[in-house]
Amino acid sequence: MTRLSESSLPAPLAYDRAATTVGVVHFGPGAFFRAHQAAYFDDLLVTDPRWAICAAALKSSGVRDALASQDGLYTLVELGETTRLRTIGAIVELLVAAEDRERLAARLAHPDTRLVSLTVTEKGYCLGADGALDAAHPDILQDLATPSRPVSVIGWLVEGLARRRAAGLPPFVTLSCDNLPANGRKLRDAVVTLAAARDPALADWIAAQARFPCSMVDSITPATDDALRARVLAETGLEDAWPIQRETFTQWVIEDDLGPDAPDLASVGVSLTDDVEAWERAKLRLLNGAHSTLAYVGLMRGHETVSQAMADPALAAFVRAMMTQDIAPTLAAPAGLDVPAYIDALLARFRNPAIAHRLSQIAWDGSQKLPIRIGATLADALAAGRSVARLAVPLAAWMRFVIRQTRAGEALVDPLSADLAVLGEPAADSPDDVPAFLALERVFPPALAADLRVETALRDAWSGLPG
Determine what percent of the chain is predicted with pLDDT higher than 70.
Answer: 100
Which residues, including other chains, have CB under 8 Å from residue 431's CB and lie 6 or more apart? 458, 459, 460, 462, 463
Contact 232, 243 (CB under 8 A): yes
Please check whether residue 176 is in contact with residue 212, taking contact to mean a CB–CB distance below 8 angstroms.
yes
For the packed helices 200-209 and 183-198, what is the interaxial angle rounded to 10 degrees?
Answer: 150
What pLDDT, on the 0 to 100 scale, is given for residue 91? 98
- Torsion of the alpha carbons at 132, 135, 140 and 144, rounded to the nearest 10: 120
Q: Which domains does the chain have, with CATH numbers?
A: 2-274 (3.40.50.720), 277-464 (1.10.1040.10)
Element holding 358 (H helix, E strand): none
Q: Are the C-beta atoms of residues 401 and 427 closer than 8 Å to each other?
A: no
Span 176-212, pLDDT tens digits: 999 999 999 999 999 999 999 999 999 999 999 999 9
Query: Quick one: pLDDT band at residue 277, thresholds 50, 70, 90?
Result: very high
d(C-alpha 81, C-alpha 196), whole Å: 52
Does the structure show a pLDDT above 90 at 466?
no
State the pLDDT confidence band at 421, using cuts at 50, 70 and 90: very high
Mean pLDDT of 101-112: 98
Residue 27 to residue 119: CA distance in whole angstroms = 6
Least Cα distance to 98 among 72, 60, 142, 125 occurs for 60
Residue 24: closest CA among 7, 44, 1, 5? 44
The per-residue pLDDT of the chain, averaged, comes to 96
Structural contact between residues 369 and 292, judged by C-beta atoms closer than 8 angstroms: yes
Task: Name the band, by pLDDT with cuts 50, 70 and 90, for residue 353.
Answer: very high
Which residues, including other chains, have CB under 8 Å from residue 253's CB and lie 6 or more apart? Answer: 215, 216, 217, 270, 271, 272, 273, 276, 279
Distance CA(278)–CA(216), nearest Å, equals: 10
**3-state SS, residue 161:** helix
**Residue 360: band (very low, low, confident or very high) from pLDDT cuts 50, 70, 90:** very high
Percent of the chain with pLDDT over 90: 97
Helices and strands, counts by H and E, the chain: 22, 13
With beta carbons less than 8 A apart as the criterion, state whether 155 and 194 touch. Answer: yes
pLDDT, tens digit, for every residue of 55-79?
999 999 999 999 999 999 999 999 9
User: What pTM did the predictor assign?
Assistant: 0.92
Which residues have a Cβ under 8 Å from the Cβ of 321 and sit 6 or more positions away?
A: 390
Cα 104 to chain centroid distance, Å, stands at 25
Cα–Cα nearest to 137, from 406, 393, 34, 145: 145
How far is residue 401's CA from residue 395's CA, in Å, rounded to a whole number? Answer: 10
**pLDDT (0 to 100) of residue 10:** 86
467 has pLDDT over 80: no
